[in-house]
A and B are shown apart, each in its own frame.
Chain A
């Protein structure tokens, strides 16, 4: 083909032919824009916007917009991390059950913290955190590993090489560890909200088995630090 190297732009907005096979990714024409859900961005007056934001608004007047997925919400109570955690807890697509478990967990955290608050002496009352969302976020942040291990094969042998992780991967690992810890290492008859609230409160205080698992991973990375040069990125 005699096309020059700048063929990317033409390739993106070429004639889009719809496919018939079912696929797992989205099949929108590349000209469709993402929906803007936050109310604040729509209520800003025109003068406050920068040049590129004004161009975005012009573009939105002419281009079609994708349908907003049901998990995207404009409510003040929606939290993307909590939604992600709920989805990871969900089994066989039972979102109703997962969501109710999540709300019961948050309620259980609030109850425990309030109990502690009312029993504490006056000077310690400010130090007790009662907001379950704050506790959830802080616990997740405490559980996130800082460095991970990846298998790299060199000369026929596979080594565990310490490797920096992306933010998404850290979040995912923290949530996965919490959920597996609650599912596997607890007594069979305890309910999930109770187990989860207990784990989250322990992680909030930097104690508990999930934090220990994170420390074990760090220790292994530290032991294998000689292999760090096997990385090529």
Chain B
């Protein structure tokens, strides 16, 4: 009798695992369960299109007046004003503070986290 082939449960019973209530691990984390020093790169920061109402008003005026510019001068002026305001708004918008949605862009967050890293070791 070279190597007696017992069923698996026999081996386990004999080794005493059942009596010690040994179970397979409930959690097998793919990565270490600790906070990393960066966030994922999200691209969803797209804003909405500006000056749509002024543009549609201007186009309605154009349709009525056969695309002449002289009768529509007022609407055109309003469109230009809106565009200038939106452009200034975009320039003045400071990305360092929280944006209009309430989220910082991920690159800024990563820079801040890099300055204050997680301490994982004792010295």
Contacts and interface: CB of A to CB of B under 8 A. Distances in A.
Contact of A230 (B49, B63, B86): B49
A228 B49 contact: yes
Interface in A174-233: 206, 215, 218-219, 221-222, 225, 228-233
B47 A219 contact: no
Given A225-B55, A225-B56, A146 B49 contact: no
Interface residues of A, number: 19
A162 interface: yes
Contacts, number: 47
B49 A231 contact: yes
Contacts of B63: 222
Contacts of A229: 48-49, 52
Contacts of B86: 233
A5 interface: yes
A176 B59 CA distance: 25
Contact of A232 (B48, B69, B70, B79): B48
Nearest to A162: B55
Interface in B56-109: 56, 58-59, 62-63, 67-70, 76, 79, 83, 86, 90, 96
B49 A164 contact: no
Contacts of A225: 55-56, 59
A232 B67 contact: no
A231 B76 CA distance: 20
Contacts of A82: none
Given A5-B96, A164-B83, A218-B67, A147 B55 contact: yes
A228 B67 contact: no
Contact of B90 (A215, A230, A233): A233
